[in-house]
A = this chain, B = another copy of it.
Amino acid sequence: MTLTPPPQRPARSAGRELKEKGLFEAARSVFAEEGFKGATTAEIARRAGVPKANLHYYFPTKEALYRAVTEEILSDWLAAASSFDENDDPKQAISTYVAAKMDLARADPLGSRIWASEILRGAPVIKDFLETTLAEWLASREAIMRRWIAAGKIRSLEPRYFFYMIWATTQHYADFEDQIKALNGGAPLSDEQFQKAKAQAIDTILNGVMP
């Protein structure tokens, strides 16, 4: 399900995609701050610098816009998740995956926050994704981890709670960025600080599971 232009005629000029992209990005920032219900189409339009009626030309309803935003986020999540499979060695697989999730949180904090906000309100839009695609992803990686455990390559543990820890820790840097900022003298983590945090997350998690 990819995002379709509102009327299905061929795009006329490059301005179309540009404007759509502007609205899309404005929507991301407003949804991330206010959640679906708290977000207003007027505010989204204002940030995009277009009249509200113009927004409704590109995205017929607030929910259609929200769904478009959401789909991209799920797609990015899956892309980062694939890094877990790039290596057969647990140490490498886990390191790579945690690093990818940390980088995603850093590169796209808004996406992570929209996800969080969607879960907080009961996940009405992504519930199906969670119950099917995400559940399947988790089940198959649990199987991999159980083989590692059986082979004595990692400690014995319940894989899903391990993944929850990874998700929680990495996404915390996006979702709670404002809290981290407040605890960092008002400034967001510098690149050096973030690299240190990433390295430590990998390190602590690895030490936590390697025998």
Interface residues, chain A, with chain B CB atoms under 8 Å away: 32-38, 113, 116-117, 119-123, 127, 130-131, 134-135, 138, 155, 157-158, 160-162, 164-165, 167-169, 171-173, 175-176, 178-180, 182-183, 186, 196-197, 200-201, 203-209
Contact (A117, B117) CB under 8 Å given A138-B183, A169-B164: yes
Contact (A161, B201) CB under 8 Å given A122-B33, A183-B134, A207-B209: yes
**Residues on B with beta carbons closer than 8 Å to the beta carbon of A113:** 120
Return the chain B residue nearest A129 by Cβ: B182
Of the A-B pairs whose beta carbons lie under 8 Å apart in the complex, a sample of 27, sorted by A's number, is A35-B35, A35-B38, A35-B120, A116-B116, A116-B175, A117-B120, A119-B176, A119-B179, A120-B175, A122-B178, A130-B182, A131-B182, A131-B183, A138-B183, A157-B203, A157-B204, A158-B196, A161-B196, A164-B169, A164-B172, A164-B176, A164-B197, A165-B165, A165-B169, A203-B208, A204-B208, A207-B207
> Given B121, B161, B179, B201, which contacts A123 in the complex, CB threshold below 8 Å?
B179
**Residues on B with beta carbons closer than 8 Å to the beta carbon of A164:** 169, 172-173, 176, 180, 197
**Residues on B with beta carbons closer than 8 Å to the beta carbon of A38:** 34-38, 121
How many copies of the polypeptide does the oligomer hold?
Answer: 2
Is the CB–CB distance between B161 and A168 below 8 Å?
no
A134–B119 Cα distance when bound, in Å, is 26
Is the CB–CB distance between A135 and B176 below 8 Å?
no
Is the CB–CB distance between A158 and B32 below 8 Å?
no
Is the CB–CB distance between A120 and B131 below 8 Å?
no
A178–B169 Cα distance when bound, in Å, is 18
Is the CB–CB distance between B200 and A157 below 8 Å?
yes
**Residues on B with beta carbons closer than 8 Å to the beta carbon of A127:** 178, 182
Is the CB–CB distance between B131 and A186 below 8 Å?
yes
